[in-house]
Structure 1
């Protein structure tokens, strides 16, 4: 049962997918939503969270939907290449992004437009499933910060843990039984107004906003896990780890 009644108009894609996805998640997971009322009931906003599994966009959608909002994701463009699947994702209001490409600017414009239209946009600032050996949040990319600074909308951090037990990073098969506990803690909106007011909007300003976002997410993950994150967040570039695809596969192999 939803915590808040859904107010937004739902497309055919949502009417088709919601009961199927909910039934699958209820049969394979237990969930604990903490402070979900911090998600705005209406108006444009960004939800930012850590990324631990290919399945956690579904569990995050469960959280957002349960609090009366339709989640609009920045999703990798490969998911849209299949004609039928692409039509479904577009009907559901998802936003394709070509990672590590100049065309990613189009996704930024689409996300800004979605926020201005009053939609709830979900962004994984890390850009991919964490490569940290212990699953902690990594350094963030600038996309979420840039959208927030451009729109001035509420930025809602979420720390989550547990989805990786259902589907480990890059695993081919899920571990369905027993049901896994997925915990998501929603923080209060971040105040980036001082950074949004700065002109010109330099790389340093955007980086400061990104660092604040990742610090807030990490603090929430620490609360959820009951543990302390490393003092320095994992950096894929410094570690020489590939930024897309399965980091465990050799270069030249399909990810």
Structure 2
């Protein structure tokens, strides 16, 4: 990790909100294929070993497979083809060991034209509720100056500025201890996305859209170009 620390200037707000011990779920925004490295570095520097819920297909890449296994990352089969696949159960097992699990609630890189968080998926909420642990919202900004959304090349020099912030645990008390409908899970997930968006607004210029981007209602071709932050 030293190379990732050296190539960026990190500013982290409200780091005390990340639990120092015990299990938790942390939910960052996602707009660059590089930002998982940034999130991992930040948690590592705060004394927590990062455990990502990552798509199972990554375990088929020869070199990467060994890294993922040795660092204890959690595979998620998004296709549902693996018998006995239980992403929430796998994450809960890591939490039961006292580990923090990183879940990207958007499920993929945001498609919102200006890189604001889009509509979230319910996995992070379901995991936090099942495991009975706090869900900590997180926002980070600056990865797009190293690798733009859908980009493949790196721009490491000069050193880039990375900003991040953690929020108070999302209040999920109204949803605990009972069977939830899909509508209720989406309602709880929107609370998470609002918390992430609020933190992101503190870190960057601009105002988030009044209506959250829903990829199911937009065409991929509508994505506008985004100029990296200077």
* TM-score (normalised: structure 1): 0.82
Q: Secondary structure at the match of 2:86?
A: helix
From 140, 149, 166, give the equivalent of 2:129.
149
* TM-score (normalised: structure 2): 0.90
1:163 and 1:66, CA in 2 relative to 1: closer, same or farther beyond 3 A?
Answer: same
Is 1:45 the equivalent of 2:24?
yes
Unaligned runs of 5+ in 2: 225-230
Find the aligned partners of 1:79 and 1:128 in 2 and give their Cα distance: 14
Is 1:208 the equivalent of 2:187?
yes
| Pairs aligned (count) | 222
Find the aligned partners of 2:173 and 2:132 in 1 and give their Cα distance: 7
Structure 1 equivalent of residue 115 of structure 2:
135
Unaligned runs of 5+ in 1: 1-20, 249-255
Greater relative contact order (Cα < 8 A, sep 6+):
2
Q: Render the CA deviation track for 1:49-108: whole Å, top value 9, x for unaligned.
A: 100211111110111111110010011222110344213211211011123546595222
Cα drift, residue 215 of structure 1: 0.7
Cα drift, residue 48 of structure 1: 0.3
* Aligned 8 A contact 1:74 1:123 in 2: yes
Structure 1 equivalent of residue 228 of structure 2:
none
* Aligned 8 A contact 1:152 1:193 in 2: no
Let me know the Cα RMSD of the aligned residues.
1.9
Structure 2 equivalent of residue 232 of structure 1:
211
Cα drift, residue 109 of structure 1: 1.1
Find the aligned partners of 1:229 and 1:221 in 2 and give their Cα distance: 9
From 59, 81, 101, give the equivalent of 2:60.
81
Q: Render the CA deviation track for 1:96-132: whole Å, top value 9, x for unaligned.
A: 1123546595222100111122110001100111111
Taking the TM superposition and a 5 Å limit, the aligned residue runs for 1:64-75 are 64-75=43-54
Is 1:182 the equivalent of 2:162?
yes
